[in-house]
Amino acid sequence: MRIDIISIFPEYLGALDISLIGKARRDGLLDIGVHDLRDFTHDRHRTVDDTPFGGGAGMVMKPQPWKEALDSLVGRADSGRPRLIVPGPSGRRFDQQLARELAQEPWLAFACGRYEGIDERVYEYAAGTLGLTVDVVSLGDYVLNGGEVAVLAMVEAIGRLVPGVVGNPESLVEESHEDGLLEYPVYTKPAVWDDGTVVREVPPVLLSGNHAAIAQWRHEQRVRRTAERRPDLVHPSLTGVDLDDLDVRAATPADVPELLVLTRACWLEEVAEVAPRWRGPNESLAEHTAALTEWQTWVVRSHGRLIASVRARRKPGEPHRWWIARLMVAPDQQGTGLGRALLAHAEAQAPADITEFWLNTGRWRAANQRMYKKAGYRLLPGSSEVHEVAVDLVKPRR
């Protein structure tokens, strides 16, 4: 990823040379350039600001230096354009979702404003003449002296999501604000610690070796902590979906047309990305109907509308494994906990002699993989080499 930062205080960005971001720069994972806006002025005082039209306190950053700085960035590129991010209290609030979105960009440019801000015509020039996507982004509901502090925070939040920057990608799965929840409590050795006044122990479940129970405990702790510290983040259903309150039943041929629509709605990305290498998103009504005889399939309805489904069977050639597939939740119902509840329902239907649950998901489906890992599933060793577009996950039955 390439990142360019324009500031009148380039030395402020020196922190980007240390810690993981600094290492990523040295390893070539992040190409970060810091540029002094004053280099694009033409008077002996290197002036970048002037008084505001219409009166008022403070100064406004002049348009000409910004034009030349942005022209310089775009002119040096062989191809492509950066996405321009301007930190400011009047912008979209920066959060983990936006960090993930920006981490997918090949090139970001940050414009660090100062004083009362940047002349509005700079935004118009960047978007209209240079053809840049321009986003004003707020670090929070408060005012800073300039954009540099916000850029340091945003570059760290974005940069650590670039593959390879964080040594163990597993550490990104259940952090605070992933899936809208805060992180669960963490502990390390010793298991029993005497702080001089009280003997404090690690919760026993973390020492049990039962990964499913640990995953459940961690999810419950995330919900509890979020409710206590950030109740504004808690969706009413995050405390748990009760399938008894919904219409859950075995699928019949009459459900197939709606199942086909649900499949297409959930797999729009797969239709674009992997077809025709994978038949799943393109199956016909006849193929969906035939699958009802091969799989146990359950559908969930709410007020008559089919909103979710899942299917399962013994895995061919491995009768001890319960193969769970096609766990689908309508897009407007995703994030409510319904998928996790339906996964638990499919597990509960497994015959008594099943010893392991098994499923696979698209290798680019990070949200799916996070949900399955929280439910106790772990990546099957070697699965990345077996499938072109998917990964296998397994979970022992307890």
Among candidate residues 31, 29, 128, the one with its CA nearest the CA of residue 70? 128
**What is the sign of the dihedral through the CA atoms of 137, 140, 143 and 144?**
negative
328-366: per-residue pLDDT in tens?
A: 998 878 877 888 889 999 999 999 999 999 998 887 778
- Please check the confidence at residue 174 and state whether its pLDDT lies above 50: no
For a pLDDT cut of 90, what percent of the chain falls above it? 54
CA distance linking residue 355 with residue 192, whole number of Å: 34
Average pLDDT over residues 376-395: 78
Structure tokens at 267: 């797999």
- Please check the confidence at residue 223 and state whether its pLDDT lies above 60: yes
Please list the residues that pair with 360 across neighbouring strands.
Answer: 392
Please list the residues that pair with 252 across neighbouring strands.
Answer: none
Strand pairing class (305-315; 318-329): antiparallel
Average pLDDT over residues 38-58: 92
Is omega for the bond preceding 190 within 30 degrees of 0, making it cis?
A: yes
Q: Are 378 and 211 in contact (CB under 8 A)?
A: yes
User: What does DSSP assign to residue 114?
Assistant: B
Structure tokens at 347: 């597990």
CA distance linking residue 119 with residue 54, whole number of Å: 13
Mean pLDDT over each residue of the chain, to the nearest integer: 86
Helix, strand, or coil here: 253? Answer: helix
Sequence-ordered alpha helix ranges (H) in the chain = 19-26, 63-75, 96-103, 120-124, 148-159, 211-229, 256-266, 268-273, 285-294, 338-348, 366-374, 383-386
Q: What is the pLDDT of residue 239?
A: 47
- Please check the confidence at residue 64 and state whether its pLDDT lies above 60: yes
Q: How far is C-alpha 56 from the chain's CA centre?
A: 41
pLDDT confidence tier of residue 221, bands split at 50, 70 and 90? confident
Is omega for the bond preceding 276 within 30 degrees of 0, making it cis?
A: yes
Structure tokens at 389: 């577009």
Among 14-28, 61-75, 112-126, 363-377, the least confident range: 363-377
284-306: per-residue pLDDT in tens?
A: 888 889 999 999 999 998 877 88
Among 10-24, 163-177, 344-358, the least confident range: 163-177
Unique residue bearing structure tokens 């399939």? 297
- Please check the confidence at residue 126 and state whether its pLDDT lies above 80: yes
Helix (H) or strand (E) holding 327: strand 318-329
Q: What is the pLDDT of residue 130?
A: 95
Among 177-181, 333-337, 390-394, the least confident range: 177-181
pLDDT confidence tier of residue 235, bands split at 50, 70 and 90? low
CATH superfamily for 173-234 is: tRNA(m1g37)methyltransferase, domain 2 (1.10.1270.20)
Higher pLDDT pick, 366 / 16 = 16
10 Å Cβ neighbour count for 7?
A: 23
End-to-end CA distance of the chain, in Å? 43
Average pLDDT over residues 124-150: 94
182-216: per-residue pLDDT in tens?
A: 788 889 999 999 999 999 999 999 999 988 788 88
Q: What is the pLDDT of residue 183?
A: 81
- Please check the confidence at residue 172 and state whether its pLDDT lies above 70: no
Q: What is the pLDDT of residue 212?
A: 78
- Please check the confidence at residue 74 and state whether its pLDDT lies above 90: yes
For the chain, what are the domain ranges?
A: 2-169, 173-234, 240-396
CA distance linking residue 247 with residue 154, whole number of Å: 44
Strand pairing class (83-93; 134-138): parallel
Helix (H) or strand (E) holding 231: none
Q: What residues contact residue 198 under an 8 Å CB cut-off, 6+ apart?
A: none
CA distance linking residue 389 with residue 292, whole number of Å: 25
Unique residue bearing structure tokens 């808690």? 234
Q: How far is C-alpha 27 from the chain's CA centre?
A: 24
- Please check the confidence at residue 163 and state whether its pLDDT lies above 60: yes
CA distance linking residue 10 with residue 13, whole number of Å: 6
CA distance linking residue 98 with residue 107, whole number of Å: 15
Q: What is the pLDDT of residue 265?
A: 80
pLDDT confidence tier of residue 230, bands split at 50, 70 and 90? confident
Is omega for the bond preceding 316 within 30 degrees of 0, making it cis?
A: no
Q: C-alpha angle 166/19/137, rounded to 5°?
A: 75
- Please check the confidence at residue 98 and state whether its pLDDT lies above 80: yes
Q: What is the pLDDT of residue 290?
A: 92
CA distance linking residue 312 with residue 81, whole number of Å: 47
Among 82-86, 234-238, 319-323, the least confident range: 234-238
CATH superfamily for 240-396 is: Gcn5-related N-acetyltransferase (GNAT) (3.40.630.30)
Q: Give the CATH number of domain 2-169; options: 3.40.1280.10, 3.90.79.10, 1.10.1040.10, 3.40.50.2000.
A: 3.40.1280.10
